[in-house]
Structures are given as structure tokens and as C-alpha cells.
Structure 1
Amino acid sequence: MKINHRESERHVLAIMVDNEAGILAKIAGLFTARGYNIDSLTVADISNDHAISRITIVTNGPPQVIDQIEAQLERLVPVHKVVDLTAAGPHVERELALVKVKGTGEKRVEALRLADIFRARPVDTTTESFVFEITGPPDKIDSFISLMRELGLVEVGRTGVVGMMRGSEGV
């Protein structure tokens, strides 16, 4: 299948699965088999008895391919539910990042000023560097990182996107 990138859309998929060995590899394999990249992937145990995990995947593709991936995911035995948050309606997305910046003098002052604007908080400080913690939508984190590049960005660690539908209904 030839991909028309103009038709490609970003999708956030929430997948409820049995918490068992190998399920993540099976799910990633579905994307690999179709030649699609996983832009972000998070996994967390969500049940008291540790039996169920929630996997959140951010990917890009034409709607028909996303529909096929969703249908294939639903056919896997350990998968309980698949929800395309993007298609389902209004939802909230957040990500956490740790951003290490080195600098002295004016660059150090500017890094602190920008961190304050972005509501990033220093979680480690030395006389030559900071590690900032920032949470928010991915585009906010991208913007913060871009500005820190000019001031002495050293390292970035990102958790990946987690998403949830707005309102009182659960996935």
C-alpha cells in the first residue's frame, strides 16, 4: 500500500490488556508489520490485582490504516478494549519530561526565566546546570526543549503521551 503522507493523521490509542509477558511485543509487531512507526508508547498497571495494564500509543497514518490496526489489536486475546481517543472526541493528553540544561551567567538566568514561563520546575541544581521537570501537552514540551537548545541543552528524557477522554465516562 502506497502511503499518501498528506492523508496521514496523528492518533492516540488507549489499549486495555491483560498484564502478561509478551503482549507489548505482539502489539508493537502489528505496527511493524504495517510499516508504521510508534511515536510514543507508555504502559502502566491500572488494576488493584495487577491483572490489567493500559497501553497508550501515539502513531500517524491514514484513517483506513488506523482502523485496520485498531481491528487487529481488538482480535488479540489479551486485549480487552481499544479506543482511538483522537476519533472518539475531546480528550486530554499529557507528557512528562526531564530537561538538563547547562549554563552560567545570562544563559542561566534566561533558562530559569523560561522555565518559570513554562511552569517547569528545577528538580536538580548545580552551579553549572539544572534539571527541569515539565509536564503538559507534547507541543508545549517541544517548545520548551527548542528554547533550551539555544541556552545549553544537554539531555532530554520523555515519558511519552498518556491520554484520557474528557467528561465522566471511562475508556
Structure 2
Amino acid sequence: MKHTLSVLVEDEAGVLSRIAGLFARRGFNIDSLAVGPAEKPGISRITMIVPGDNRTIEQLTKQLYKLVSILKVQDITNIPCVERELVLIKIQASPQNRSFILEISSVFRAKVVDMAYEYLILEVTGDPGKMVAIEQLLKQYGIVEIARTGKISLIRASNVDTEFLRNTLSAQKISS
């Protein structure tokens, strides 16, 4: 199972390197990593997607707390969150298929951020599932390059679990 860890750290040189070293020594992989300033000056938020079972993640959390400059570690995998990712996709867009690509981008609310005679670059923002869906649809036209930011996430203040609601509503539609 993949876990989402939200880590608050002091914003100083070497913190990310120490975290990466800890993961490497323990033989863990980081599937996604996003780092940026947090709400308070001098503090950064690191969002990591890490594969492992609950016990492994618990051990990893304990090890993270032993590092200098780690302020807070939270496994937010099963907590209602807002999750987003940004993807830039460069795609072959010949005059014959450009309108199809633009139609797909419109459905996914993607922005065209660059246009050339044979190529388009799309900017897509949303939850990770949306990224997978648009990528699958655009593959047939010839994806040239992709750049992804990695997932960022914040716990919902409302505590509303939209994934749970989406699954419940889908189940109700199927049964009716």
C-alpha cells in the first residue's frame, strides 16, 4: 500500500539530504516527493508517497523523528485530504488531431500553455486519478514528454471524505 506522509521540517540546508539518506539506508523508495515553504517562515512542508505496510510506515516515522530539524510527521493516507498534482504534457498535435486533443483538454480543464505547428504543451492540475486518466487518453496521439510535480496534500478542515462520498454515490446509482 502507498502511504502519504506530510512532514514539517526546519528550512535549512541538508534536511532533505538527511531524509533521503535515511530512506536509502533502510532500503525504502519514495514514489513522489514535493517540497515547499509552509505557512510559517523558516518551515517547509514535505509531502512524500511511500510504499509499505502500516508497521513499516510506523517504524519509518519513528526514524524520521530522530533526525534533527524534523518538527512533525503525519501519515495522512486515511485522513480526508485535498490532494493535487501538476503535470505538463508535451504532445504531438498534427492539424488532423489537434481538435480531438483540445476537446480532451477541455473536458479535463487542462490549459494549453504552448502551441507550435506539430506540438502542444498542456498544463493539468488535479487529483492523481485525473492525471492518469488524461495521460491514458492522450497516449494515442503521441506523448513526447511529461513533467510531474508530485502530489501535495492538506488535511481537510471540514473532515469531509470526498473519496468516500464519491464511492457511496456511485454505489447508490448502480443499485437504483
Please give the TM-score of this superposition, normalised by the length of structure 2. 0.85
Alignment partner of 1:34 is 2:26: yes
Q: What is the aligned-residue identity percentage?
A: 42
Equivalent position of 2:171 in the other structure: none
Alignment partner of 1:162 is 2:159: no
- 2:129 aligns with one of 119, 139, 149: 139
Distance between the aligned counterparts of 2:38 and 2:157, measured in 1? 19
- 2:112 aligns with one of 115, 122, 138: 122
* Aligned alpha-carbon RMSD (Å): 1.5
Distance between the aligned counterparts of 1:144 and 1:47, measured in 2? 32
Alignment partner of 1:72 is 2:63: yes
Structure 2: any 5+ residue segments left out of the alignment? 160-176
| 1:142-153 aligned within 5 A | 142-153=132-143
Contact 2:8–2:44 (Cα < 8 Å) also in 1: yes
Deviations 1:104-152 (A, max 9, x none): 1332111111111111110111221111000111121012112211112
**Distance of aligned partners of 1:30 and 1:165 in 2 relative to their CA distance in 1, 3 Å threshold:** same
Distance between the aligned counterparts of 1:132 and 1:122, measured in 2? 5
| 1:46-125 aligned within 5 A | 46-47=38-39, 49=41, 51-87=42-78, 89-125=79-115
Distance between the aligned counterparts of 1:35 and 1:108, measured in 2? 44
Please give the TM-score of this superposition, normalised by the length of structure 1. 0.87
1:103 CA drift (Å): 2.1
Alignment partner of 1:24 is 2:13: no
Distance between the aligned counterparts of 2:82 and 2:62, measured in 1? 23
Equivalent position of 1:10 in the other structure: 2
Aligned amino acid, residue 18 of structure 2? K
Aligned amino acid, residue 69 of structure 1? L
Distance between the aligned counterparts of 1:14 and 1:168, measured in 2? 18
Distance between the aligned counterparts of 1:48 and 1:33, measured in 2? 31
Distance between the aligned counterparts of 2:97 and 2:29, measured in 1? 36
Distance between the aligned counterparts of 2:28 and 2:137, measured in 1? 30
1:47 CA drift (Å): 4.6
**Distance of aligned partners of 1:18 and 1:68 in 2 relative to their CA distance in 1, 3 Å threshold:** same
- Matched residue of 2:46: which SS? strand
Contact 2:83–2:154 (Cα < 8 Å) also in 1: yes
Structure 1: any 5+ residue segments left out of the alignment? 1-8
